[in-house]
């Protein structure tokens, strides 16, 4: 097994991505690759705050996987307080996790974000990582990736029906993983008779079974950073949508980035999309409430979210055009963090249902 560390794909200042792959303990140079069979695990540190952090875990399979078990050893002071999409346990420094059924399958060559968690203590990469019993050991590559890293789709694209409307769900972990409002929305749209095709370079299955798994929900990412480094432009070029649905500012608000700076990123994003598709329809969410545990250090996050949301309608009114209209979708009003999230930030099943209903209310007349 080999371990590489990729710096630069940051969500919050100081965050990092640790890639762990099956092979021998070897230091890799930039661009170096190995052909050995095995699996790769991305341990993605997203949000960080005083005493805590959020991480997401993705597995890339060289051969099909039907059921996975993962284990690693944290540093002595690192503990997991909550996790989603995984049957997990921690004994001392050893973390173990297994699929929960619906996320058990990973196709050959597919990269799938399988679960996430909230932890405290050190964000150093774990050791003794195993996937289905295969040990992941190795050195750490400290080289930087290219300035504009992109993750092209690994699966062969399928051609949807000619009349299908392509929709890109764009955002962070609230859209990606867990992000299962996408499955609920897919169900609402198809039951209403709409022919739609969710598009994106990432694939994360959601309940109900059979919903379109494609999306651009990148756990821990900031829209300001993702626009500035060219990631968003690349995603839009790979899968230019007819409709863009965007809930993409939570990590920026958490990091106390001014609303004006976030909206500047939105403006650039919209311009890039319109250059690729002048008739694109854009749905921009007023983000769900941001009310993490006060011990996380973001005690004014709730008001920051309110302040940012208040700026969105005026921005949208300035940017909307007849050819490429912008619709503001209120995902904030009616939200009860104690009931609709499991940690004050990420939606639970009740929250998924609410988000899907709000998106559907905006999309249904557009698609009809």
Q: What is the pLDDT of residues 303-332, one digit of tens each?
A: 999 999 999 999 999 999 999 999 999 999
Q: Coil, strand, or helix at residue 241?
A: coil
Query: How far apart (Å, rounded) are the C-alpha atoms in residues 345 and 341?
Result: 6
For all residues of the chain together, what is the average pLDDT? 80
β-bridge partners, 105: 66
CA-based nearest residue to 47, from 364, 363, 343, 351? 343
Among the listed residues 166, 139, 358, the one whose alpha carbon sits nearest the alpha carbon of residue 247 = 358
Mean pLDDT across 6-28: 30
pLDDT at 13 over 50: no
- Residues 84-131 pLDDT 10s: 778 889 999 999 999 878 678 887 777 777 887 878 888 888 888 888
What secondary structure does DSSP assign to 318-343, as a single string?
Answer: HH--SSS-EEEEE-STT--HHHHBSS
Helix, coil or strand: residue 309: helix
| Distance from C-alpha of 200 to C-alpha of 203, rounded to nearest angstrom | 7
Q: How far is CA 272 from the centre of its chain?
A: 21
Q: What pLDDT does residue 179 have?
A: 66
How many helices, marked H, and strands, marked E, lie in the chain?
Answer: 8, 20
Residue with tokens 């899968």: 239
Delineate the domains of the chain, giving CATH numbers in brackets.
Answer: 40-135 (2.60.40.290), 165-366 (3.40.50.1110)
Calpha distance 121→221 (Å, rounded): 21
Q: 204 in helix, strand or coil?
A: coil
**pTM (predicted TM-score):** 0.62
**pLDDT of amino acid 283:** 98
Q: What is the pLDDT of residue 15?
A: 32
The CA-CA-CA angle for residues 166, 176, 43, to 5°, reads 135
What does the radius of gyration of the chain's CA atoms come to, in whole angstroms?
Answer: 20
Give the tens place of pLDDT for each residue, 209-227. Answer: 788 999 999 988 999 999 9
The predicted model gives 183-197 an average pLDDT of 93
DSSP 9-51: --SSTT--EEEEESS-S-PPPTT------SEEEEEEEEEEETT
Mention every residue, 6+ apart, whose C-beta is less than 8 A from residue 161.
195
């Amino acid at each position: 097994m080999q371990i590489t560390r990729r710096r630069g794909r940051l969500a919050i200042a100081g965050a990092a991505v640790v890639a762990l792959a099956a092979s021998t303990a070897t230091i890799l140079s930039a661009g170096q690759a190995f052909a050995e069979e095995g699996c790769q695990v991305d341990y993605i540190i997203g949000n960080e705050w005083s005493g805590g952090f959020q991480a997401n875990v993705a597995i890339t399979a060289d051969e099909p996987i039907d059921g996975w078990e993962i284990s690693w050893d944290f540093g002595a002071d690192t503990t997991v307080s909550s996790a989603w999409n995984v049957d997990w346990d921690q004994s001392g420094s050893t973390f173990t996790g297994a699929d929960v059924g619906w996320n058990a399958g990973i196709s050959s060559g597919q990269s799938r974000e399988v679960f996430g968690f909230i932890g405290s203590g050190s964000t150093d990469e774990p050791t003794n990582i195993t996937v289905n019993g295969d040990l992941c050991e190795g050195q750490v590559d400290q080289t930087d990736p290219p300035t504009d890293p992109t993750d092209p789709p690994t699966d062969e694209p399928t051609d949807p029906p000619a009349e299908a409307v392509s929709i890109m769900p764009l955002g962070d972990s609230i859209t990606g993983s867990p992000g299962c409002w996408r499955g609920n929305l897919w169900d609402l749209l198809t039951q209403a008779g709409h022919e739609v095709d969710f598009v994106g370079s990432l694939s994360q299955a959601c309940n109900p079974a059979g919903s379109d798994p494609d999306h651009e929900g990148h756990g821990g990412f900031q829209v300001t950073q993702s626009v500035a480094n060219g990631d968003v432009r690349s995603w839009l070029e790979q899968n230019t949508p007819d409709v863009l649905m965007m809930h993409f500012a939570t990590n920026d608000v958490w990091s106390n980035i001014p609303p004006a700076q976030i909206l500047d990123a939105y403006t650039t994003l919209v311009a890039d999309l319109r250059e690729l598709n002048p008739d694109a329809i854009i749905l921009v969410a007023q983000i769900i409430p941001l009310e993490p545990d006060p011990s996380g250090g973001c005690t004014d996050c709730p008001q920051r979210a309110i302040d940012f949301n208040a700026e969105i309608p005026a921005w949208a009114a300035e940017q909307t055009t007849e050819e490429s209209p912008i619709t503001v979708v209120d995902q904030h009003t009616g939200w009860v963090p104690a009931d609709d999230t499991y940690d004050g930030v990420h939606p639970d099943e009740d929250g998924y249902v609410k988000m899907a209903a709000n998106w559907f209310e905006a999309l249904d007349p557009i698609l009809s």
